[in-house]
Structures are given as C-alpha cells and as structure tokens.
Structure 1
Amino acid sequence: MDRLTKAEEPIMKIIWDKGDVFVKEIVEDLPDGTPYNTVSSLVRILESKGMVGHKAFGRTHQYFPLVKRGEYRKHMLKNMIVDYFDGSYKGLLSQILEDEEVSQEEVNELKALLNKDS
C-alpha cells in the first residue's frame, strides 16, 4: 500500500468520511479551493493506487473507498515503527510518553490501556 501524498490525504479523508462521493462533492468540501480538474486527476491517481473504486453513471463517476481508514492507519503506523523506531513499539511509546506536548491525562489514559489486558 502506497503512502498518500499531501495532496491526496484531504481527498481520501473526504472519501472515507462520505463513502460514495462525486468529484464535485469533494471539491465543495475542500477548504483550499482546489480546482475540479486537479481533484479529478488526484482521484484517478488514488484509483490507480487501489485506494478507491468507482461506479459509472453515464460520463460521471461516483467514487468509494476500497481501503478502510483503519487499514491504512495500521499499515502506515507499522511502517513508521519499522522505519523510525527499529520495529520497536516500546520505542514509539517511550517517545510518546517523553513528548512534552502529551498531557498527564493522556499519559494516564495510555497507562490504563496498557494495564487493561494485564
């Protein structure tokens, strides 16, 4: 599974959120005013990557996700752990716990999650 580019991510998020969607609807939901033709091209790229499929309605297409958001997250997180933490989930968790931007409440919630299955 390929990593989404910065241009593809917001489009894929809209597709995940809406399910079946036309390019026109994606354009309407994008905050930056990306042109229709650009969005259409990016959606076709997502289709070539196997991320979305389509149903034809005459000359227009309705797109839908082929890869679930959770599947994509899991795959990307696994790659990040391998690439940046030598495959160590402990290393990732240590980094999160050392991050000064993580609140004590979030640290406590993480600890509770870890202790839940113990």
Structure 2
Amino acid sequence: MEELTRNEERVMLILWKLKKGFVKDIIEALPDDPKPPYNTISSVVRLLEKNKYVGFKAYGKTHEYFPLISKLEYRKLFFKKMVAGYFDNSLESLLSYIVKEEQLSDSDISKIKDIINKNKLS
C-alpha cells in the first residue's frame, strides 16, 4: 500500500471523521477558504478509490465514499515506514530524537516511562 500524498491524506482525515460522505461533504469539511474546486477533490477521491483506500456506494451517477482502511491501520503502516526510512528501524533512535528535539519535560519523560512499564507487564 502506497503512502498517501498530502492532498490524499487531507481527504482521508475527513473521511475517517465523517465515516462516509459525498464529495460535497468532503469539500464542506475542509478548512480551506476559498474551498477547492469540486473536480479537484473528486479527482483525489477517485485516486484513493483506485488505490483501495476508499470504497463507494453508487446512487445513480452520485457516489457516497467511505474508508476501506482505518486511521489506525494507516498510522501503523506510515509509522513503520517512517521508523524504517528515517530512523534505520531503530526505535531507540526515534525515542532519542523525540527526547532531544521535542525538549520533553520531566513530566513527559515520566509519562513515557509509565507507558513503557505498563506495556512490559501486559
């Protein structure tokens, strides 16, 4: 499964929130002002459908779209690719980057330790 482009991701984030919708619903949910043209969003949705991210139910010539992949499934895929591509498959490198670059507070670090300890016990 391919990584989403920025425009595809914007549309998917809306579809994940709406659960299903017509192109006009997606356009209305976009925060853009002015709104993008109908044909632009329609093209993005058709690409998502072609790439098996989105399915549809036809009502004559009108289509109602819905996600075929959950946000959680995509997050897992994207995260694995990000860790592999940018951190050489090293979660230690990722965590080190987060701690250094995000300037975590002692409270944040404590919460991370708690999460790790809770998940070790599971």
User: Is TM (by shorter chain) over 0.5?
Assistant: yes
Match of 2:28 in 1: 28
Change (3 A) 1:13 1:100: closer
Q: Name structure 2 gaps, 5 residues minimum.
A: none
Match of 1:17 in 2: 17
**Which amino acid in the other structure matches residue 60 of structure 2?**
G
Change (3 A) 1:67 1:100: closer
| 1:21 partner SS | coil
What are the superposed Cα offsets for residues 66-100 of structure 1, whole Å, 9 maximum, x if unpaired?
01101101111101111111111111111111124
What are the superposed Cα offsets for residues 35-83 of structure 1, whole Å, 9 maximum, x if unpaired?
1110000000011111000000111000000011011011111011111
Q: Structure 1 stretches (4+) deviating beyond 6 angstroms?
A: none
Larger mean CA deviation between 106-115 and 58-67 belongs to 106-115
Match of 1:3 in 2: 3
Measure the CA separation in 2 of the matches of 1:93 and 1:112: 15
Q: Name structure 1 gaps, 5 residues minimum.
A: none
Match of 2:91 in 1: 89
- State the superposition RMSD in angstroms: 1.2
| 1:93 partner SS | helix
TM-score with structure 2 setting the length: 0.90
Pick aligned residue for 2:49 from 47, 50, 58: 47
**Which amino acid in the other structure matches residue 56 of structure 1?**
A
